[in-house]
Structure formats: structure tokens, C-alpha cells
Amino acid sequence: MKRWHIFTRGLVKENAVLILMIGLCPALAVSGTVRDAFGMGLAATFVLFFSNVIIAMIRKSVPNEVRIPIFILIISTFVTIIDYFMQAFQPDLYRALGVFVPLIVVNCMILGRAEAFASKNSVINAALDGLGVGIGFTLALTVMGSIREILGNGTFLGMTAFGEAFRKTPVIFMILSPGAFLLIGILKALINKYVKKE
Amino acid sequence: MTSTRQMIVTLFMVALVCSIVLSCVYSFTSPRIADTQNQLTLAGLKEVSAAQEFVEIIPDTLWRALDSSGNCSGIVFRVFPQGYGGSIPITVGLDLDGEITGVRIASAAEGMKETPGLGAKITEKDFIEQFKGKKASEVPLKRDGGEVDAITAATISSRAVCEGIKAGIGKYTNYLGAEPNKMNVFPVAQEFVEIVKEKLWYALLGTDTLGIVFVSSAEGYCDCITFMVGVNKDGEITGVEIVYSNETPGIGEKIREREFLDEFTEGMPEAITGATISSTALIEAIKNDIEHYMEYLK
């Protein structure tokens, strides 16, 4: 049960974006459409999972003084790998995410999990933690992306939602930057009201 | 406390492993990345031109469009005019008459930064379809004296697109001429050896040098006239082709007529009546160039 708890707490209870308010930069910047948001979420999950696993694996032989540079090296290696693969196999998504793919390196969510959890726990627990936090991040981004794309562009995954008339005159505001701030504020307020605090 | 050596060794090992992994991933993905890039570029070019093949003239900027039999059917160029939110990447196809065959504006995902819902409407069909079949003079917005309808509430972006396309046509129209064929101006030769890049060639038959072929230009009535000439060892012209000209249709453009061009092989022709400026410019330029290139004939 403890393992199950490690996995699930990143999903909702300690959701990086909506509860802990970290990793906000990509959450605000690339949640304009569902596809971009989901792609970003998957990329971050990949990096989070593998960097957590590797860091947990070598945690006993990493000298305390140089742990941060080592973590960053490992994280940036995985970011570069996902960057190359996305360029090769998902060029459209790669162009849409732009600079936010390389910026995963400095996402405090990932270094945060490495420092706070993976460097002190077993490989399996670190893997579950990385997966949980990553999926939670993906969920939050996908929810934001869906709302913003439906309201702001009148489409969902590129398909027309709410009919042609709405697609022609959507709430443009939602797809622009201020819409992202407004939405995350509303989501945060809803969560504060309905999700019980421990 | 950890010893300094242990720190250095660990850091070094991690860095080494990371770089080995990365170089493997890179060598695996880089051909795919290049491939994907090429496919995307080609798909973008095919959207604005019906041509089968594209020959890059200026990297990432200008292509010569070839039809299925390998003849030049026009050009495709890219321009990046400044819009409201940043530069707008536009790909434009032109046919040999200087008419637009198609326009493609990069989507937001490809780096177009106009405001979603407003300026970004420049990517919509209703707007870009307007450019098809238009010439440079018709491209500006209606309020700027052209024939293109601006998008309501997106005048800056619409104008940027129009001005960008117009400027691009002005800049690259020189490349519209069909790829000149050296065989046409020196039919006896079998092989051509380049002496000056894209300008001067030796015409060879077996190992014998028969003469030269050169490309040069003259100041015409409207624009420069670019031509290709073949000259044999005796200084006699073997053929003349117009590579590019943009003279007055029906008047100055008569210099392109076969009858006139063929006269060059029998000594210098007379100027064309009604097109004196264009034809004289061509005749004088050819005379001067032959003198200029005489030394290569010896």
C-alpha cells in the first residue's frame, strides 16, 4: 500500500502544477492546445521517470558536494534524448513546443524530485514517484489545454467543438497568455474548495 | 567529507557515460531528423507549386521548380516580412509569367507569431487563396492600390504578408528564366567545362576545344536582360538564348523571338523595329562580351 501511495500522491494530492505550484512556466506557456499540452506532459514524464530511476540507482556513489551537477547532467541527457526523438519523429509537435523542450532541464519539478526523493529512496520507489508526478503534470496540462483550446479556439484536438458558429468567434482571450493565468487561478480556487487538505 | 579526487572521478564518469549515450542517440536520430526536415520542406514547396522537383538555388530561400520532364516551370521563394508579433514565414510559388501559383504561410506551430484569432487568420484559405494568379502589381491590399482584401481587424498582419510577397517577387524575379541549356547555344559540342562559375564554359568535342559559352547581361528598357551565347574559335556566334528578360510585352520582349535570335549566327542582326532599345542593348552587350572573352578562344 505504501508503494501505491507513492505513485498516487503525485496525481492529485501533491499535483505539481495545481497544488505545489511548480513547473508553472511550461504549464502556462504550452497549454494553448490539447496536443501541445499532452506532448509536453509526456516529454516531462519521460525525463522525470528516467532521471529518477538513474539517480536512485547511483545515489550511494554520488558525493554530496557534487550531487547537483550530476543530477543536472543526467536530467539534461534525457532532455536531449527526448529532444532528438521529437525532432525526428514528431517534428510538428517539436516546433510547437519550441524552447520549452530544452527548458525541461531547468524545470524545478524534475530537479526537485531528484533532490527530495530519488536521491534518498530505492529505485522502484523513485520510478513510481517519477511516474506519478509526471502523470499528474500531464493531467494538469491536458485539462488546461482542453479548456483553453475548446473555449479559445472552438476546437478539441483540432476537431470542431460546439459547432461552426462558435469556432468562428471563440473566446480568443482564453488562448492568449492572460487566459492561462486566469484559468490556473480558477482551477486552484476550485481545488482549494473541494480537495481536502491533510 | 568526500575527497576531492572522488568528486572529480564521479563527475567525470557521469559526464563520460552521458556523452556516450548522447552520441549514440544522435547518430541514430540525425539522419531521421535531416530526412524529416527535407520532407517537410518538400511538402511546403509542393503546396505552392505544381512542380515535381525543386532545385535549391539559395539555401532555404529560393528554389527552381522543375516539371515532370525536367523543364523549369517557375520558382519558389521564402520571405519573412515583419508582422505584428514577429516575422511571418511565407512561401510563394511563381510561374514563368511571374504569376503567383500559391502562397503558404507557416502555422503558429512553425513559428508564425501573429495574434491567435486575429492576425493568425492570415493562414486561412479565404485570405491566401486570393493571391493565386496575381502579379506583383496586384498583390498589395485594396486600400494600398492592389487587389487583395485585408482581414478585418488584422490589417497590420495582412499588409505585412502583401508587402512581403511583393518585395520577394521583386527580389527573385530575376531567377524566373528557364535553366539555360548550353547545348542550345553550342549544338556541336558534347561536353562543357566550367571556367568561371555559372558564367563561362569551354565547349568540348572529344578532347578538342571548339569554343566558349558564356552567360552575361545587358541593361534593357525595363530591367536587365540576361543571355547565354556560344562562340566558336573563329569568333562566330553559334547560338544565343535569353535567360531572363522582363521587357515590355509585345514590344521589347520580341528579343525573345527565335527569328531574331537565330540572326546572330549569321553576323550581327539589325535592331528590331519598335524595340530598338531592348534589341540594341542586347546586340551591343553581346559584341562587347565577345571581345571581352576573346582571350579564352586562343
**Among B11, B18, B109, beta carbon nearest to A92:** B109
User: Using a CB cutoff of 8 Å and minimum separation of 24, what contacts does A173-181 make?
Assistant: A174/A147, A174/A148, A175/A32, A175/A148, A175/A149, A175/A151, A175/B116, A175/B117, A176/A152, A176/B115, A176/B116, A177/A28, A179/A148, A179/A151, A179/A152, A180/A27, A180/A28, A180/A29, A180/A31, A180/A32, A180/A144, A180/A148, A181/A28
| Distance separating alpha carbons of residues A186 and A119, to the nearest angstrom | 35
Q: Is the dihedral of CA B184, B185, B191, B196 positive or negative?
A: negative
pLDDT digits (tens, 9 = 90+) for B271-294: 888 888 888 999 999 988 888 888
- Of A47-51, B24-28, B184-188, the range with the lowest mean pLDDT is B184-188
Residue B1: pLDDT over 60? no
* Higher pLDDT pick, A172 / B230: B230
Instruction: Give phi and psi for B170, each to the nearest 5.
Output: -60, -40
**Among B10, B32, B116, beta carbon nearest to A63:** B10
Name the residue ranges covered by the structural domains of chain A. 2-142
Quote the cell numbers at residue A135: 502523470
- Which residues face B54 on adjacent strands? B65
Residue A94's contacts (CB-CB under 8 Å, 6 or more residues apart) are: A83, A86, A87, A101
Please give the average per-residue pLDDT across B183-203, as a whole number: 81
| Distance separating alpha carbons of residues A177 and A143, to the nearest angstrom | 16
The full length of chain A comes to: 198
| Distance separating alpha carbons of residues A136 and A147, to the nearest angstrom | 17
Residue B11: pLDDT over 60? yes
Burial bucket for residue B4 (CB in 10 Å: 0-12, 13-18, 19+): exposed
Task: Count CA within 13 A, CB hemisphere, residue B233.
Answer: 8
Which H or E element spans position B201?
strand B200-205
Give the count of Cβ contacts less than 8 A between chain A and B.
71
Residues in A whose CB is inside 8 Å of some CB of B read 32, 58, 61-66, 69-70, 73-74, 76-77, 80-81, 84-85, 87-89, 91-93, 95-96, 152-153, 170, 172, 175-176
User: Which residues in chain A are closer than 8 Å to B22, comparing Cβ atoms?
Assistant: 77, 80-81
Instruction: Give the gyration radius of chain A's Cα atoms.
Output: 18
**Among B22, B30, B37, beta carbon nearest to A77:** B22
Interface of B with A in 11-50 (CB under 8 A): 11, 14-15, 18, 21-22, 25-26, 29-30, 32-33, 36-37, 40
**Among B7, B33, B115, beta carbon nearest to A65:** B7
Residue B180: its pLDDT value, please? 63
User: Which residues in chain B are closer than 8 Å to A172, comparing Cβ atoms?
Assistant: 116-118
CB A32 within 8 A of CB B117: no
State the nearest Cα–Cα gap between B65 and chain A, in angstroms: 25
Q: Is A14 helix (H, G, I), strand (E, B) or coil?
A: coil
User: Which residues in chain A are closer than 8 Å to B30, comparing Cβ atoms?
Assistant: 84
pLDDT digits (tens, 9 = 90+) for B159-177: 999 999 998 888 787 677 6
Please give the average per-residue pLDDT across B194-222, as a whole number: 83
Residue A125: its pLDDT value, please? 93
Q: Do A176 and B116 touch (CB under 8 A)?
A: yes
pLDDT digits (tens, 9 = 90+) for B27-65: 999 999 988 888 888 888 888 888 888 877 777 888 888
Angle at A22 between CA A177 and CA A183, to 5 degrees: 35
Q: Is B218 helix (H, G, I), strand (E, B) or coil?
A: strand
Residue B146: its pLDDT value, please? 84
CB A124 within 8 A of CB A66: no
Residue B64 to residues B44, B88, B273: CA-CA distances in angstroms? 14, 22, 34
Buried b (16+ CB within 10 A) or exposed e, A112-125: bbbeebbbebeeeb
Nearest CA in chain A to B13: A70
User: Which residues in chain A are closer than 8 Å to B43, comparing Cβ atoms?
Assistant: none
Residue B177: its pLDDT value, please? 61
Residue A140: its pLDDT value, please? 94
Nearest C-alpha neighbor of B74 from the set B63, B83, B84: B63
Residue B222: its pLDDT value, please? 73
Q: Which candidate in B5, B19, B28, B36 is best for mutational testing of the A interface (most A CBs within 10 A)?
A: B36
What is the pLDDT confidence band of residue B178, given thresholds at 50, 70 and 90? low
Q: Do B10 and A74 touch (CB under 8 A)?
A: no
**Among B14, B33, B117, beta carbon nearest to A87:** B33
- Which amino acid is present at B14? V
**pTM of the predicted structure, to 2 decimals:** 0.66
| Distance separating alpha carbons of residues B103 and B254, to the nearest angstrom | 31
Q: Do A73 and B21 touch (CB under 8 A)?
A: no
User: Using a CB cutoff of 8 Å and minimum separation of 24, what contacts does A90-94 make?
Assistant: A90/A39, A91/B36, A91/B37, A91/B40, A92/B109, A93/A35, A93/A36, A93/A39, A93/B109
In 10 A of CB B16, how many CB atoms? Answer: 10
Highest mean predicted confidence (pLDDT) among A184-198, B18-32, B216-230: B18-32
Q: Is the dihedral of CA B110, B114, B116, B117 positive or negative?
A: negative
State the nearest Cα–Cα gap between A46 and chain B, in angstroms: 15
- Of B4-13, B117-126, B239-248, the range with the lowest mean pLDDT is B239-248
Residue B208: its pLDDT value, please? 82
Residue B179: its pLDDT value, please? 57
Nearest C-alpha neighbor of A69 from the set B251, B7, B78, B180: B7
pLDDT digits (tens, 9 = 90+) for A134-150: 999 999 999 999 999 99
In the sheet that B90-95 helps form, which strands lie side by side, from edge to edge?
Answer: B53-58, B62-66, B72-79, B90-95, B100-105
**Among B14, B37, B40, beta carbon nearest to A70:** B14
State the nearest Cα–Cα gap between B224 and chain A, in angstroms: 41
The tens place of each residue's pLDDT in chain A, 198 residues long, gives 588 888 888 888 888 888 888 888 888 988 888 988 999 999 999 999 999 999 999 999 888 889 999 999 999 999 999 999 999 988 888 888 878 888 898 888 999 999 999 999 999 999 999 999 999 999 999 999 999 999 988 888 878 877 777 777 788 888 888 999 999 999 999 988 887 665
